[in-house]
């Protein structure tokens, strides 16, 4: 993400005292796997929030921006696009909030987290793309937050597990016991 200073780190000839080990030796990946639903929920929360925020920016912008003697918001297409996005964002938020409740009760399972992550991250990318279009050429200028949101959006369908991994988790749950699906560490 453009807003983060993410970089690759290399550690050569570094020794760490055994007392500083987190968990059992050789079990790091397994330990990390226990927190994947939490990470995917965090991804869903971020995507739901960005989706709502981008819609708000676009409503404000289209209400003020004039073209052909009227505001961009006066065009039926603008209204339909934003109404559709808002309805879907509201639905995604309700599911995400339910997942937050499940997490707080220690009941969030990998399938619900995968559904929330998949749906919200796909909607996040679609919303940013459609809203940038309503900003027109202005939306592709770095000074506008919509441009920066667009630049950062694509990674949400990868971070925390790709969309394809989320679909695999969901499908395996749907077909458990009826198909001989290969086990993997998704």
Active centre residues (catalytic): 39
Q: Which of 181, 47, 176 is nearest to 113 (CA)?
A: 47
Q: Which of 50, 70, 60 is nearest to 129 (CA)?
A: 50
In sequence order, what are the beta bridge partners of 70?
Answer: 67
- Tell me the C-alpha to C-alpha distance, in Å, between residue 34 and each of 28, 53, 133: 10, 31, 40
Q: Which of 95, 103, 100, 111 is nearest to 161 (CA)?
A: 111
Give the helix ranges, DSSP H, for the chain. 28-33, 36-64, 76-104, 110-135, 145-153, 163-175
């Amino acid at each position: 993400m453009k807003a983060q200073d993410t970089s690759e780190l290399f550690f050569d000839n570094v020794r760490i005292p055994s007392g500083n080990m987190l968990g059992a030796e050789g079990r790091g990946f397994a330990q990390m796997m226990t927190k994947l639903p939490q990470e995917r929920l965090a991804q869903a929360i971020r995507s739901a929030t960005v989706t709502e925020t981008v819609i708000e920016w676009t409503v404000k912008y289209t209400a003020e921006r004039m073209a052909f003697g009227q505001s961009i918001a006066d065009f039926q297409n603008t209204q339909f696009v934003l109404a559709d996005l808002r309805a879907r964002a509201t639905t995604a938020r309700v599911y995400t909030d339910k997942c937050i409740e499940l997490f707080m009760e220690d009941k969030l399972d990998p399938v619900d987290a995968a559904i929330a992550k998949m749906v919200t991250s796909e909607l996040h990318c679609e919303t940013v793309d459609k809203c940038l279009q309503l900003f027109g050429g202005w939306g592709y200028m770095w000074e506008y937050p919509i441009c920066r949101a667009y630049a950062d959006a694509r990674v949400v369908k990868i971070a925390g597990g790709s969309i394809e991994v989320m679909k695999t988790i969901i499908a395996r749950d749907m077909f458990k016991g009826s198909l001989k699906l290969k086990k993997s560490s998704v």
